[in-house]
A and B are shown apart, each in its own frame.
Chain A
Amino acid sequence: MAVALGRQAAPRRSFVELLDDRRVLSVLCMLPAVGLLVTFLAYPLGLGVWLGFTDTKIGRPGVFIGIDNYISLFDDSVFLLSVYNTLVYTIVATILKFGLGLWLALLLNNSMPFKAFIRAIVLLPYIIPTVLSALAFWWMYDPQFSVISYVLSKMGLIDRYVDFLGQPNAARASVIAANVWRGIPFVAICLLAGLQTISPSLYEAAALDGANPWQRFRNVTVPMLMPILSVVLTFSVLFTFTDFQLIYAITRGGPLNATHLMATLAFQRAIPGGQMGEGAAIATAMIPFLVFATVFSYYGLQRRKWQQGSADD
């Protein structure tokens, strides 16, 4: 019995010894992550990029056609409009989200009654499933039953119901408003977390140094918030640029493609339209923009000079 046990233990011990080797251990530990990344990230990404170079249609495997898809996209006014829409949508929505989010974070950072409760309420738009809130917006923007129009007309501000989703620019503003409403909690809560890490004595020191509230905001709050601001900004830009759900549920890209974003157009062409190759090419065309945004923020994210040096306080 003892002999048998000893014999069994010998190979196991050598396996354990193998684990003591840092290199073996690190490769072993990385394997699952690498496997997951390859299966769920690299493969679909590669497949998508590959499809963009083919004329695949739904139900018919395509052949490699080089950059023909991209060449035709350059002459495709709907595609160009969707690029324009995406840029407008991302830039305007991001500016509004950050402006309002920062304002909200500053408000929430003050001591006030029912603080925890109010903070929880702020998170609500973020908790509600996007499709549900998109439906709610769709209903609010309805030409006949819009609650916004109803309120405005009761207040005597308008005499005809607003056609929120019928005119190109009104429709753009409407979907941007919905995106901002949904995006503010994320920005506000992240910035609030950032604000709470700023030591109150810095504000006190600045006040004694003679800074008025605006100067304290400029010289203490903003620079101290910069690191977290750039992280949140990156994520916010990425999420907004690739937005799909809100648009698809509210306007499906209409009217006259005025709210088509690159993501919705790619889907539209690929799945309902059946042009897999072309859809994939549109989606792939988003990559340079996203890479640019990420590189930009990579430099923004780098530890600032003043954050370097010893880590203790």
Chain B
Amino acid sequence: MASVDIRGVEKQFGATKVIHGIDVSIADEEFVVLVGPSGCGKSTLLRMIAGLEEITAGEISIGGKVVNNVAPKDRDIAMVFQNYALYPHMTVRENMAFSLKLRKAAKSFIDERVNRAADILGLQPYLDRYPRQLSGGQRQRVAMGRAIVRDPQVFLFDEPLSNLDAKLRVQMRTEIKALHQRLRTTSVYVTHDQVEAMTMADRIVVMHDGIVEQVGTPLDLYDHPVNTFVAGFIGSPAMNFVSGTLRRSGGDAHVEAAGGVKLPVPGSIGGADGQGVVFGVRPEHLDLASDGAGVSAKVIVVEPTGADTQVFADVAGTQISAVFSERHAFKPDQMIRFQPRPDSVHLFDAASGRHL
């Protein structure tokens, strides 16, 4: 097991630069999730750690040793691919044993390792099958088995669950997390699914267009997003944003949105009087208010999920969503009033998107 240090790493494909200087330090035994929208460079960064892509600039070190010029096979890392990349002509057992066989390990040692991995992953009944004869979830497990028999310094995962159905995805998510708690191997996990990131990560790295927007624990990112991108990306359903102007009078403050709608914010919040801002509040931080309090909203759709009720409504021409744990049977076009929880609202500078 080892730490991974990424310092000033850039990547260029021909003339196009896709990664613009990334600095991340991953501690030993840590489970770090790289998350971001499609095309932001997550896979590219992961493949640079693996040694499958050249590093254009900067340094990557594993266990304190710079690996820029170390071949993939000498980096002692294992990777689980999105398409699993199982060898179709080898049985499950041979797939898992392949790396140890190349290392000329003793037969008894290989058997022991393969059996141990098969036990952990529940693959014993399938050891003599070929990948084609397995379901998607079983293949996914074989791919993980192939990684853990190696007992490598670092595990790399590139969207390993994206080919599975929703239910299996949740189950495998838990299994991977449990596996990490058991093996404690440093892991870098790529996904574009923020729920996966939130539930699995010790720390999350939010990427966007080839840069890191924010690094932190899941709750850190949820509570203290540094900008509108992170605020909108982390959390589900996504945070609501309303543009407006900050108005201060005495100790009080509010955001004046289109049509003169006033959104109350705590007086202690940052930002200057008259500044263009984006007001942000998560759907779960909106309460229903009685007449006179909060802001008025016109109901568009109500979506009950059983566990909670999601309400979409129009506030000052912007669509807002709110989640209530109680059940409500609002009608479309009904007028209701939302009250944002004062300590859970966020203000961002309209121009830069930075948190105020």
Contacts and interface: CB of A to CB of B under 8 A. Distances in A.
B is a partner of A = yes
B182 interface: no
B78 A208 contact: yes
Interface string A187-225: 000000000000101101111111110010001100110
A207 B78 CA distance: 10
Contact of B52 (A207, A212, A310): A207
B73 interface: yes
A305 interface: yes
A87 B208 CA distance: 65
Nearest to B76: A210
A191 B313 CA distance: 61
B34 to A, nearest CB: 18
Nearest to B50: A208
A204 B85 contact: yes
Contacts of B86: 205
A128 B77 CA distance: 51
A305 B52 contact: no
A207 B86 CA distance: 13
B83 interface: yes
A310 B81 contact: no
Contacts of B205: none
Given A209-B102, A219-B87, A310 B132 contact: yes
Contacts of B131: 306
A306 B85 contact: no
Interface string B59-83: 0000000000001110001110101
Contacts of A204: 50, 52, 72, 79, 81, 85
A223 B81 contact: no
Nearest to B156: A208
Nearest to A310: B132
Given A219-B98, A309-B132, A310-B133, A208 B72 contact: yes
A129 to B, nearest CB: 40
B245 to A, nearest CB: 52
A303 to B, nearest CB: 11
Contact of A209 (B71, B83, B98, B130): B98
B179 to A, nearest CB: 18
A307 to B, nearest CB: 7
A309 B133 contact: yes
A308 interface: yes
Contacts of A206: 87, 98
A210 B103 contact: yes
A202 B87 contact: yes
A304 interface: yes
Nearest to A212: B73
Contacts of B133: 308-310
Question: Which of A220, A306, A308 has the most C-beta atoms of chain B within 10 angstroms of its own C-beta?
Answer: A306
B72 to A, nearest CB: 5
Mostly helix, strand, loop or mixed at chain A's interface?
Answer: helix
Interface string B130-141: 111100000000
B88 interface: yes
Contacts of A306: 88-90, 130-132
B99 interface: yes
A149 to B, nearest CB: 48
Given A202-B87, A310-B132, A211 B102 contact: yes
A305 B131 CA distance: 11
Interface string A111-132: 0000000000000000000000
Nearest to A202: B85
Interface in B78-128: 78-79, 81, 83, 85-90, 98-99, 102-103
Contacts of B132: 306-310
Given A207-B72, A304-B89, A309 B102 contact: no
B103 A220 contact: no
A196 to B, nearest CB: 16
A201 B83 contact: yes
Contact of B77 (A208, A215, A226, A304): A208
Contacts of A307: 88, 132
Contacts of A219: 87, 98
A208 B90 CA distance: 17
Nearest to A227: B89
A304 to B, nearest CB: 7
Given A207-B52, A209-B99, A201 B87 contact: no
Interface in B258-297: none
A224 B184 CA distance: 35
Interface of A: 199, 201-202, 204-212, 215, 219-220, 223-224, 226, 304-310, 313
Given A205-B85, A208-B72, A226-B89, 18 more contacts: A199-B83, A199-B85, A202-B85, A202-B87, A204-B52, A204-B81, A205-B81, A205-B86, A207-B73, A208-B50, A208-B79, A209-B99, A209-B150, A224-B88, A304-B89, A306-B130, A309-B132, A309-B133
6 contacts: A202-B85, A208-B51, A306-B132, A308-B132, A308-B133, A309-B130
Q: 6 tightest CB-CB pairs across the interface, nearest first?
A: A209-B99, A309-B132, A309-B133, A201-B85, A205-B85, A223-B89
